Amino acid sequence: MDLVKYVERKRKLAERLEQELGSRASQVRSDHHARRPPRPCGMTVHTGIGCPMACVYCYIYDMGFPAKVKPYPLTGKEMLYALVVNPYFAPGPGGTMIAMGAVSEPFLPETRDRTLEYLREFGTIKNPVQISTKLTLDDDTIFKIAEHVPHISFLMTIVALRDYRKLEPKAPPPEERIETCRRLINVGIHVSAFIRPIIPGFTDRDAEDILNLCKSAGIRTVVLGTLRVTKRIFENLKRVGVDLSDRVRKLSATEQVPIRGSDLKESIAKLAEKLGFRVYEAACGANIEAAGLGCVACEWGPCGDVNKIPDVSERDIVELSKELGFDVSVKFRNKDREIVVEVRRGRDTKLLQVWLKELTRRRVIVKMLGR
Ligand code: SF4
């Protein structure tokens, strides 16, 4: 498989967009989307700054984001350029995963148009794209999503049914969100139930009903995730009847601490599997599946279709590494699922690691020779 084509595509795209953006290009290059490495779920893209939804379990307010929202200042073309010039980003089908919706709600009246603008641009490069929301969508938005990024992975957050309003005071009823999922599925969109964060006493109590409703809407994939809390989230949850004192030891004002919740996650996973769902422990699994790919890059895999894990040779990796400025030798191990790369020359080994993980969809171990 020719991996060097991703570098060539990146150069050509950057040149074209730079010409189109003119003097604005240098400002865009200073945006954090143009610099930071991807998170485990992919390259996170902010469609807005802040969020007024005030969900009780939300961590963004501890990260300094405001409780009101404005659209992210980059236009669609500018955001595409920011990603394309980001050294860690590989553009194209099978390239770096994109994830939207992590630190703001992408379908608020203030952010919807910006989100659609980003989706339209991301659709042109065909990278795997994922978006999460807890809002309902009108037909126009649904048709535009399907038109711009038909291979998108759509995550609908549902963490409670009966008492959802205590946790998500400004979100629409879960039944209406599930109805939106049905309409998305009708136009061919891959939709997953995003049962994250699992809130003890709420999510586990309603899990079976949530899953049955999702199943009847045509959803076949579930992404699960446990809760992380700061002191503020811990206290807010306590006020609505969630006592986590036996699930978390040490709290921090700003740092998110994971609660002990694997028992709940496992029981919901079992229930979901019994009902015929594919269950993923990380959101990127659903992104891989929606994009028609396969991945064994971490212990949570395999995700998607194992027959679709890219067919790459040692030579493909050596050539890509050379293009990125590295002189390496390569070994496959663990039945071809792991790649060990020994670097003789080259600097930013994180960059090499990120590119190889994203493009080979395998676990990559990079060793610097002589250190
Ligand atoms: S194996 Fe699955 S969970 Fe792990 S990185 Fe790949 S898609 Fe994500």
Domains of the chain: 4-294 (3.20.20.70), 314-368 (3.30.300)
d(CA 49, ligand 1 centre) in Å: 28
Mutate to test the pocket of ligand 1, among 41, 130, 221, 288 (most ligand atoms within 8 A of CB): 288
Percent of the chain exceeding pLDDT 90 equals 94
pLDDT surpassing 90 at residue 284: yes
Q: Which letter does DSSP use for residue 102 in this model? A: S
d(CA 285, ligand 1 centre) in Å: 5
What is the predicted pLDDT for the residue at 360?
98
Question: Reduced to 3 states, what is the DSSP secondary structure of residue 314?
Answer: helix
Specify whether the CB–CB gap between 24 and 142 falls below 8 A: no
Structure tokens at 37: 């490495």
pLDDT surpassing 80 at residue 240: yes
Rounded average pLDDT over 247-266:
92
pLDDT surpassing 90 at residue 19: yes
pLDDT surpassing 80 at residue 157: yes
Q: Which letter does DSSP use for residue 104 in this model? A: S
Q: Which letter does DSSP use for residue 327 in this model? A: E
Residue nearest to atom 7 of ligand 1 (CA): 285
pLDDT tens digit sequence for 300-341: 999 999 999 999 999 999 999 999 999 999 999 998 999 999
d(CA 281, ligand 1 centre) in Å: 9
Rounded average pLDDT over 190-216:
98
Question: Reduced to 3 states, what is the DSSP secondary structure of residue 318?
Answer: helix
Pocket of ligand 1 (CB under 6 A): 282, 284-285, 288, 295-298, 300-301, 303
Phi-psi domain of 54 (left: phi exceeds 0; alpha: psi -120 through 50; beta: other): left
CA torsion sign for 156, 157, 159, 165 is negative
pLDDT surpassing 90 at residue 253: no
pLDDT band at 254 (very low <50, low <70, confident <90, very high): confident
Structure tokens at 122: 């991301």
Rounded average pLDDT over 232-254:
93
Structure tokens at 185: 């599925």
Rounded average pLDDT over 5-22:
98
pTM of the model: 0.96
82: burial class by Cβ within 10 Å (0-12, 13-18, 19+)?
buried
What is the predicted pLDDT for the residue at 371?
64
| Average pLDDT taken over every residue of the chain | 96
Helix intervals (H) in 168-261? 174-186, 203-216, 231-239
